[in-house]
Amino acid sequence: MRGTGSPQHGARTAGVDRATARTIAEQVGVEVFLDQLREQLRQRTFRPLPVRERMIPKHGGKLRSLGIPTVADRVVRRR
């Protein structure tokens, strides 16, 4: 929602694991992260984490729920 005064972070927002794409790239490395994720998918051991829920304002002063998935969940969903 534009015009609320808060920046739109979108894909940069961390999920319940508090990891962003940037922190994964800096701490683990993209290739290692993707290799581990690929292996979990092959072995059918990947389990998505619960989404991080945030309430965001709507027009008229009401709030709505916004679910923020983890980076791994976003990657798997984009397959």
Tokens of 22: 């940037």
Ordered per-residue pLDDT tens for the chain, 79 residues: 344 444 556 668 899 999 999 999 999 999 999 999 999 999 999 999 999 999 999 999 999 999 999 999 999 998 6
- pLDDT value, residue 36: 98
pTM listed for this prediction:
0.77
Q: Are 14 and 64 in contact (CB under 8 A)?
A: no
Instruction: Give the C-alpha separation, 57 to 26, whole Å.
Output: 33
Instruction: Give the C-alpha separation, 16 to 27, whole Å.
Output: 17
Question: What's the N-to-C CA distance of the chain in angstroms?
Answer: 27
Within 10 A of 48 (CB to CB), how many other CB atoms are there? 12
